[in-house]
Amino acid sequence: MPDTILQTFVLLRRNFADYSFVPMMLDIDMHSCVERVEEALGGQGFSTYHMKDIEEALFAQLSEKGLLDTRSWKTPSATLLLRNDGKVSILCNVEDQVLIRVEVTDDDIQAAIKTAKDLSRLIGGQNPFARDERIGWLTARPLHAGTGLQVCYKLHLPMLAMLQQVRTIAGSLYKEHRFALTALPDHDEKNPAAIFILRNMFTAYDSTQNLAESVKELALSLSAKEINLREKILKRTVRSTYLDQVYRAYGILRYARRLNEIEFLDYWSKLRLGAAAGLLPLTLEKVDGLLQKAGKAALLMAADIPRDDHTIYFARADVVRAELNGGL
């Protein structure tokens, strides 16, 4: 797969037929929803995390993995059930009552879809999910109804972002109501990391096979555009301002003493671009690992670091310097 694709995963949305959608659910029904899922998953190796009890460090860790976001944090009734291998999760009571997420491994999307559907059948075995004979499975948003399935690609598109082409592409896709290209949850409109989620939207009247193939085709097309721009602007133009940004990011990250999250993500994105283009003496594996090691979750969980932003900014810079040049 192209180096622009960071991760692929499948989402499957379901809602119990005997409950109202989440915004209108009673607290007792939300509690019962979680109990149904837990009972169905008994013995399957899942751990339960109730949002009202979760600590900041753990939330940050799960958020960086894409399992939670601010919307979950602000929903006390939200509950996450995470399989022990970390590749399968089920989020309850956020928008849809049941959101199954399965990470794709070895580019086998169909295997991930099968896992999600098997879990759906297991959970809905005793308590059927809401379904319309004409449309299919019913969801909180009509654009997700039908199969209730979304195939998602996590893409790093720094050249398209710097050239301000992403908004145009995303707007064109949205008008068709078939695909969505959005920034990572909780990132503002500027999206400093230039990481985007591509997913299909309207899923009625189509097979899961066709959905998976159409999203993959679009992901590869966007990746090809990104790589083409990288080749033309970075590798064929010596005096490019974008090339300058890559080397500036490398220099700053090697010697910075203080890095807040926004500026770190911005520099990291350009660092990864330079590594992918073969311009910097860094592997993509090292750069991608840096994102996790210098992330808020890892810093919050470090025993010797106070949990205030001021200290975390300095600690992040320490981690980055140690990774890039031995800690100078």
DSSP per residue over 159-184, as a string? HHHHTT-HHHHHHHHHHHTSEEEEEP
The pLDDT of residue 71 is 83
pLDDT in tens, 44-57: 999 999 998 988 88
- State yes or no: pLDDT of 264 exceeds 60: yes
Q: What is the pLDDT of residue 206?
A: 67
φ, ψ (nearest 5 deg) of residue 278: 75, 20
Instruction: For 294-317, write each residue's pLDDT tens digit.
Output: 998 899 887 666 677 888 999 999
* Mean per-residue pLDDT, 203-227: 88
pLDDT: is 322 or 174 the higher one?
322
State residue 238's pLDDT score: 74
pTM value is: 0.93
**Any bridge partners for residue 295, and if so which?**
none
Query: Residue 197: what pLDDT?
Result: 96
Half-sphere exposure of 306 toward its Cβ, with a 13 Å CA cutoff? 5
Residue partners of 119: CB distance under 8 A and separation at least 6? 12, 41, 88, 90, 100, 102
When the pLDDT of each residue in the chain is averaged and rounded to a whole number, the result is 91
Handedness of CA 154, 156, 161, 163 (dihedral sign): negative
Tokens of 260: 């807040």
Domains for the chain: give ranges and CATH numbers. 5-228 (3.30.590.10), 241-325 (1.20.120)
| Token reading at 101 | 């997420």
| Angle (nearest 5°) at CA 40 between 35 and 45 | 100
- CA distance between the termini of the chain: 35
Q: How confident is the model over 177-213, as pLDDT tens digits? A: 789 999 987 666 679 999 999 999 876 656 778 888 9
Q: Coil, helix or strand for 239?
A: coil
